Every structure is written in C-alpha cells, then in structure tokens.
Chain A
Amino acid sequence: MFRIYMGSILSSTEFTKFDLGITSDRTLSTIGRWLKVDNDGIVFDDSNFNIFQRRWRVPITLDELIFETSILKIGTLYNDELRMRALLLKIAELKIDLIVGYLKSQSYNPYELIASGWGCAQTTGIPTVIVNVTPPENVNYSFFLKMTETNDGMIVLSDRYTMISISTEKKEYTQNNKGQAEK
C-alpha cells in the first residue's frame, strides 16, 4: 500500500511550485518522497539525500524519465509527451508503477486533462498523476487509471488537494478527497 498526497494538504512551505508526496506503509509518513519543480525541471527528493532531476529537454535515454525508489518506479513526462502515442507505448514496456505528468496549460481545460492524463493511463495501463499548472500560478492535481469493466478510470479530475491510497497487491484505489478545486 502506498499513498499519494497531492497539493497543499502537505502544508509544506519547503517547495514553492507544487507538492506531491508519496509514502508507503513501510516508511514513516513524515519521510515522504517528494516532487517539486524548479527552473531546470522536475526534482525528485526522497528525503534520504537522494535527489534526482529530470531536466526540461528531450531525453536522450529512457532512463532520464525514470525515478526509481525502494518502493516505486516513477516515470515523468512533460506536456506534449503525455500525448505521444509511440512514447507511451514504449513507457508501457518499462514496468513502471506510476507516471507523473507535468502539464502547463493556458487555461483550465478538462478535455486537455483527459487527452493527456486519462489518455496516458489508457495507452500505458499505468496509474497517472497529472500536475496541471495554469496562469498565474494555479496548480491542480488529477489522477487516472486504465479503464476496467467496472471503472472508467477517472478518479480525480483537477483538485487543489487530495489523497489517493493504492494497494499494490489488490490494486484497489480509494480517495480521501479533502476539497474541491477552485475553478
């Protein structure tokens, strides 16, 4: 079981742009695995002095997209990459547990979120978190899964802060929704 905390529920002042924490039952929740964004790209910091960064550029190797921790293998995709079918099909082969997509938009558009996040989850089959940044500095989070016979895969569509629990054994997902996004 691991949990993904999205948004200011973390009350973290340490990171200025966005907060995304991932914890597992095997670790204390205070020791999170955090993602933040800076001028060079997305930074992954597991609070164990391991810092990994994906820069704002076309990656040369697929390894540049992947942050591997003791509990999770996370793939990070930027903007248009979330809609590149050939790339998504390649990612699907890498046995990744979670995709974190960073999507910068001109304005809030649910269709763009569905195309990028839901589409990514359908094509790769991998749970996908979308960090959607809209002007001036609004950050909203979405979470998508591959559609099944009982679930359309739309778990969270654009919330300011929320928490998802993922049971890796049973593949069960529950949401503790702390509030709705201010649209």
Chain B
Amino acid sequence: MTFEKILNFFRSFFSRRKTNAFLNYMTHEPSELEYVGVIQFQHQNFKSIKDFYVKVLSVVKAAKMEGSQLVLFPAGMNTELYFVPEEALSGNQISKIEDECLKVFSNVALAEKMYIGYADLIKGTKVCHLLNGNGKQVDGNKFIVYNVKVAFMNDDIDDDVDLILNSCLVKKWIGDYESFGHAWLYSQQEYAYSMESYMVGDHFTGQSGIYAPIEATESMSGIIKQAQSRLLEEVLVSKIDFSALESLKRKRNAKNAYTRLLEHK
C-alpha cells in the first residue's frame, strides 16, 4: 500500500512536470534573443512544394526544440524548387517559384513562431529575406529581432549591428584557412556575432557556423559552433551572450576616432 502510494506520487509528479515543461515550452515568449540556429541544408530537388514545406518545417522544428528563436537557411532556397535548369525557365516561372518559396517559409515561420532568414538566388544574384514570427517579411537592410540589431552581410553594414547573417550557396576549398573567410572575418572586423549557412550534398560543400569576435569566446577562437561535416546536413543551435559585446564596444568606439581620417581624401 505504501509502495503504491509512493509510486503514484512519483508518477503524478513526473507527469505534472512533463506537462508543465510542455506548457512552458508552448507558451513561453522570450523577450530577448538568446538562441540562434543555422541550418546546413541538404540539397535535393523537391518533387513538390509540399515535400519542400515538410522538409523546411522539420528542420525548423529541430532547431526550435533546441531553443532557437531565429534560424538561418543558405542561399539558393528557390532553386530547390526548380524542375529544370534556371536557363530553361521563363522570367514568369522564376518569379512564381520565388513566390512559392516565400510562401513556404512564411507558413513555417508562422506555424513555429520563429524568425527565419534565407536567400534566393536569381540569375546569380542573392535576394535575402527575413520573416518574423507572424510569417511577415521584414523590410529594410537592418532589422530588430527581439532586442538585437541584425543585418544580412554586405559591404555597407552599420557599426551598431550586433548580429550578421550570411546565407551562402557553396564554398570552394583551397585550404583550411578558407573557413575563416566571410562571416568569421566579418565578426572580427565588425565586432559582431555572425551566422553563416551553406548548402551541402550533391556537388555542394560548405561549413556552416556561428561566430563571434575572438575576444567574446572563451577559447579566443571566435568560433561558437561550426558544422562537423562539409557534406552532411546539420542543425547548429547556440546560445549567444550579447552582453559580451558590451566590453567590445570600446574597440568599436575607437573606430570613431578614425572617422576624420576616413573622410580625408
């Protein structure tokens, strides 16, 4: 009798805890950006938009289960829906596919209440998109995600941006130091966090990662998380401590002393 009582107590305790955890997970609305995710996306030609939706939803769910509030996909997501090479598509077909792709990401963002960044590749030009948790596309070059200033990587990034997004298609491997190109280097030069996502599989190779200024990482490497494989799909999620950037603002401010020099002709 006593044993049964104890057993029942533990049963109800754990079931209550599980329910509470689930309810917390479902209702918790964070006010700050803490966790970000990068999707190293496995290339495959999708036979239908439904298949594509299911795939995107599944990787976003995987990132969300690890706490991610913002996920970044690689560039060329629209080309996953191409049924023939781009050269064989008309202008109308290309823009229709772009719209379909946007709808898929919008629906997933809405369903999972998640910020999603990705880029289309249209005739070699990257077109970046950021969707908010309501599935709406956020306009502009600089975005506020929760309390953080975010921008897609380009040559004109403002000094006050704290998180840089870089959706890429493919990385050519010349040597090991290639890993430090792009986003990692931007993090070092702009004193900001960065996320970089690549397409992998088939003829695509890349190594996605989440980076910081070297001074903001314990290992002094500037690497928070990096994909282990250059060929296989991975979901990278990491907590980011934006308060660590505070101490680096001194270095950022030091750049202001050079304003006059930079304006000098």
Contacts and interface: CB of A to CB of B under 8 A. Distances in A.
A65 B178 CA distance: 29
Interface string A67-98: 00000000000001101111111100000000
Nearest to A153: B177
Contacts of B189: 83-85, 88, 115, 119, 123
- Chain B contact-residue range equals 20 to 34
A58 interface: yes
A86 B190 CA distance: 10
Interface stretch (B8-16, B194-202, B253-261): B253-261
Interface stretch (B32-40, B107-115, B214-222): B214-222
Interface in A43-69: 58-62
B258 A86 contact: yes
A85 B164 CA distance: 15
Contact of A111 (B155, B176, B222): B222
Contacts of B181: 122, 147
Given A62-B261, A87-B258, A87-B262, A149 B174 contact: yes
A53 B178 CA distance: 35
B261 A114 contact: no
A30 interface: no
A82 B62 CA distance: 39
Contacts of B257: 58
B262 A118 contact: no
Interface string B221-254: 1100000000000000000000000000001001
Given A60-B260, A154-B175, A115 B188 contact: yes
B185 A58 contact: no
Q: How would you classify the secondary structure of chain B's contact residues: helix, strand, loop or mixed?
A: helix
A152 B255 contact: no
A106 B262 CA distance: 29
A84 B188 contact: no
A150 interface: yes
Contacts of B255: 80, 84, 86
A122 B174 CA distance: 14
A88 B189 CA distance: 10
B251 A80 contact: yes
Given A84-B189, A122-B185, A123-B189, A114 B177 contact: yes
Contacts of A114: 177, 180
A88 B261 CA distance: 12
A81 to B, nearest CB: 8
B264 interface: yes
22 contacts: A60-B260, A60-B264, A62-B264, A80-B255, A85-B189, A85-B190, A87-B261, A111-B221, A112-B220, A115-B180, A118-B177, A119-B189, A122-B181, A122-B185, A147-B178, A147-B181, A148-B174, A150-B174, A151-B174, A151-B175, A152-B175, A152-B178
- Rank and list the top 5 A-B pairs by shortest CB-CB distance, nearest first: A152-B175, A115-B188, A85-B189, A152-B177, A58-B257
